Structure 1
Amino acid sequence: MRTSTMSRSQAAHQATGQHPSNSDAPPAYSAPTGPPPSWHSEKKQAAHDNDFAPPRGTPPSHSSRDEDYAPPAGPPPSHAASDPDPPPYDPWLAIPDNALLPPPPSLKDAKSPTANATFSDAARAHAWCRQNPLWPAQPHPPQTLQRIRNGHITLTQPPNTRNDIHLTTTSLGGAHVRTSASCGDTIFLSDLPLYTALATPAPKTTIYFELKVLHMGPLDHHGEATAGIAIGFLAPPYPAWRLPGWERASVGVHGDDGRRYADDSYGGQEFTAAFRVGEVVGIGMTVSPSRFVGGRAGVEVFFTRDGRKEGGWDLHEERDSEQKGGDLGGLEGGRDVLAAVGCFGAVEFEARFRREEWLFRP
């Protein structure tokens, strides 16, 4: 049982039946006079104004100019006189020279707008290249090197070709080729390399040859080319049923669509106009030594039409990240390079390797 305590006066009033009044309540608390016990006499003295007098003179924020702070003599500690001067700023250490970078990638296409080889032919060629690695550079006797310098070169017919190809040598430096409409993709290679890797290297070497278009079949009713000629370079060996520029270590400009190819089995890149009958087209390649020890050579490919340079590209240009291929190491100066002319369908052309017969002067 809960209980509570009660004062005596409350008990008395309760016994008599009376209720307590306000007069009966204890008096309200009032503080005693005088300071609290902790306020000692010495504290009282601290209340006088003279105990808190400010220091003499003007405040620091209002000091005269003569009293301003002056830094100490000599350089700051971080720039002691004994410390060496920092090296001069060289922006080339942080920003690469764009002249040394390959150009941006060109747009490529999945297929040519005029004619395309079959997938099975491409797959067979890729397998052939895997089984037949590039040949190393070959030594050549002095008489062969002299023939190359004089342009006494001709084209060779691929093995196991049918009667739809007719090739004849026209001079000491040329060849005449005529094919029929039944001719499939075929490539003709020069009998000697135009670039010999083991010969005494020059500061800069340019190889070049020309081709005159005598005949090229028309488009069919679907707009597909029934014939075409391609001109280029490659490092051997190379599959005989593939045009230059389609496989490793090869470049080419194709006359049916005017596109350029560099180890590109797809649609190539837009470059020039299609070849026309009566035109003289040429292709060249300039190999320059590397600017750095152990670096790769600089290679510029260029194309001419009727004696005038029409365009070119850097062999080491940046390629589309989605583009397959790009194995062009055989053209960088370490291997022999052959002239290559590809064709399909009914065509007729004349290849020229002698400088005296060229319209363009490289």
Structure 2
Amino acid sequence: MCFGKSKNTLYDDEPPRPAPGQAPQQPIYAPDPSPKASMPPQYHHQSQAQPQAQYQPPPPQHQQQQQPPPPAELSGTSAPPVELSASDDFAPPPGPPPSSRPNHDHSDDYAPPSGPPPPRTTTRPLPDRHLPPDHQTRLRRAAPGPPPSHTKPAHDWESVVPDTSLFPPPPSFFSGFDRSPASNAPEHEAEAGEEWCMQHPLMAPLALDAGAQHLLQTHNTRLMPPSTGYRGTLEWTAHGVWAGRTDPSASDSCIIGYPPLYAVTQHSPLANAGRPKTIYYEVILPQDGNRGDVCLALGFTALPYPSFRMPGWHRASLAVHGDDGHRFVNDRWGGKTFTAPFRRGETVGIGMTFTGVEGRVVTDVFFTRQGKEVGRWNLHEEVDAHQDLPVTGLEGYHDLSCAIGTYSAVGFSVIFDPARWAYKPPVA
């Protein structure tokens, strides 16, 4: 089916058909384009715009006659220049193709890019998530570089982090209580105790006489109950043993021992070539049938101390209280968490060790239950300048006496004789 003539046809008009009985006229052929391959390069472009010369073959009866000369572009002679028509707007650029350029170095056609090669990566590129799974598998298989390692090198943390097991225990900052969870004294009594301490400054170390030194050497310390306010009994029952009992209506009281268990003139490490000194005593809590909290405190204090206050509540005193298990060091509020509340029928003990270190005294406090040490703290490590009051008087430069606090109904036995102790301190 034909929809019209092509614009690129070589014929202006279709040749007429021969009449019946007439020999058909020979068609007019376009020149053979094969000679163009042997033409010089400078004629290639002109030959495209040069109009094609039509070749008229001779009639059949004159086939042996001489053929007319070929067109000028085929004979190698120059032809007059012609202007390009609009159909040549999309003609190829002038000049020979790149492969036909004279003196062209073909070695650069496939040369690598300039510069060093890119570094070899150790990670595989992530596959395109939009590709089919089989394509992703091919990408993984064809990814360059070594396979990724799933094991990380071990970090030598021991060379960076020190061994903290050799460090002293950190201070228990911000662990104090404003009030005890068990029982508390009235606020006016705390203010009265502070006023009493201001009126009675600490005493200088005593020069013990022969009788006091004998009592210390034989571990036969005497207990002195308060002259007023103490409601109960207190008596010496055996060598180095005292027994006491208070009434249910008894108020806060502090029982003081004499001579002091730590005497600076006798026991200071600075005066004894650095030799440490340990003071210690125990208290037995009998099964007396009373219920409720064990209202008794064990501690030490420098002299003098208000007898109507529990030890540990004011200056130069410390104690562990049995009703809540808290420890108090110059603390008239709620103390700090230390141990469990006391139980009737057990034996508890408290001690202090003074050690000379580089011209000063280091003080440790320890606590025992049933003959085993259950807690210890350093007197200076536990001081917080924002919460704790000074520990002056407890550092080993003042005499220290045992201090036993009582209130309400409680029974107790105080043991000073080391032969009767359930716990054996390392240094006596």
* 1:40-55 correspondence to structure 2 within 5 Å: none
State yes or no: 1:343 paired with 2:400: no
* 1:37-116 correspondence to structure 2 within 5 Å: 103-106=170-173, 107-116=175-184
* 1:346-361 correspondence to structure 2 within 5 Å: 346-361=409-424
Q: Specify the alignment match of 2:277 in structure 1.
A: 205
> Matches of 2:346 and 2:169 in 1, distance apart?
32
- Measured at CA, do residues 249 and 200 of structure 1 come closer, stay the same or move farther in structure 2, by a change above 3 Å? closer
* Deviation, structure 1 residue 142: 3.5
* Deviation, structure 1 residue 170: 1.1
> Matches of 1:318 and 1:178 in 2, distance apart?
33
Which deviates the most, 193-202 or 123-132? 193-202
SS at match of 2:179: coil
- Measured at CA, do residues 108 and 216 of structure 1 come closer, stay the same or move farther in structure 2, by a change above 3 Å? farther
Q: Percent identity?
A: 36
* 1:129-278 correspondence to structure 2 within 5 Å: 129-161=197-229, 164-199=231-266, 201=268, 202=272, 203-214=275-286, 215=288, 217-219=290-292, 225=293, 228-278=295-345
- Measured at CA, do residues 318 and 179 of structure 1 come closer, stay the same or move farther in structure 2, by a change above 3 Å? closer
Is residue 229–residue 250 contact of structure 2 (8 Å, CA) maintained in 1?
no
* 1:246-266 deviation digits (Å, cap 9, x = unpaired): 111111000000111110111
Is residue 349–residue 369 contact of structure 2 (8 Å, CA) maintained in 1?
yes
Which one has the bigger strand percentage?
1
- Measured at CA, do residues 139 and 178 of structure 1 come closer, stay the same or move farther in structure 2, by a change above 3 Å? same
Equivalent position to 1:301, from 344, 348, 365: 365
Q: Specify the alignment match of 2:383 in structure 1.
A: 319
Structure 1 residue runs of 4 or more that deviate by more than 4 Å after TM superposition? 97-102
- Measured at CA, do residues 100 and 310 of structure 1 come closer, stay the same or move farther in structure 2, by a change above 3 Å? closer
> Matches of 1:104 and 1:271 in 2, distance apart?
12
State yes or no: 1:121 paired with 2:189: yes
Which deviates the most, 178-187 or 102-111? 102-111
> Matches of 1:257 and 1:160 in 2, distance apart?
26
* Deviation, structure 1 residue 154: 2.7
* Deviation, structure 1 residue 160: 1.8
* Deviation, structure 1 residue 320: 3.6
> Matches of 1:337 and 1:268 in 2, distance apart?
21
* Deviation, structure 1 residue 144: 2.1
Q: Which amino acid aligns with 1:206?
A: T
Q: Specify the alignment match of 1:284 in structure 2.
A: 351
> Matches of 1:270 and 1:165 in 2, distance apart?
30
Q: Specify the alignment match of 1:26 in structure 2.
A: none
> Matches of 2:328 and 2:267 in 1, distance apart?
30
- Measured at CA, do residues 200 and 262 of structure 1 come closer, stay the same or move farther in structure 2, by a change above 3 Å? closer
Matched residue count: 256
Is residue 166–residue 177 contact of structure 1 (8 Å, CA) maintained in 2?
yes
> Matches of 1:99 and 1:161 in 2, distance apart?
48
Which deviates the most, 102-111 or 236-245? 102-111
> Matches of 1:360 and 1:149 in 2, distance apart?
19
SS at match of 2:383: coil
Q: Which amino acid aligns with 2:407?
A: F
Is residue 288–residue 299 contact of structure 1 (8 Å, CA) maintained in 2?
yes
Structure 1 length-normalised TM:
0.67
- Measured at CA, do residues 324 and 271 of structure 1 come closer, stay the same or move farther in structure 2, by a change above 3 Å? closer
Is residue 154–residue 353 contact of structure 1 (8 Å, CA) maintained in 2?
no
* Deviation, structure 1 residue 99: 7.8
* Deviation, structure 1 residue 192: 1.3
* Deviation, structure 1 residue 321: 4.2
- Measured at CA, do residues 194 and 361 of structure 1 come closer, stay the same or move farther in structure 2, by a change above 3 Å? same
* Deviation, structure 1 residue 141: 2.3
* 1:263-320 deviation digits (Å, cap 9, x = unpaired): 011111111111111111000000011x234x4x100000001111111111112434
Q: Which amino acid aligns with 1:205?
A: K
Unaligned runs of 5+ in 1: 1-96, 220-224
Is residue 229–residue 251 contact of structure 2 (8 Å, CA) maintained in 1?
no
Q: Specify the alignment match of 1:333 in structure 2.
A: 396
Is residue 281–residue 350 contact of structure 2 (8 Å, CA) maintained in 1?
yes
Is residue 104–residue 318 contact of structure 1 (8 Å, CA) maintained in 2?
yes
> Matches of 2:312 and 2:289 in 1, distance apart?
20
SS at match of 1:286: strand
State yes or no: 1:310 paired with 2:374: yes
Q: Which has the higher contact order (CA 8 A, sep 6+)?
A: 1
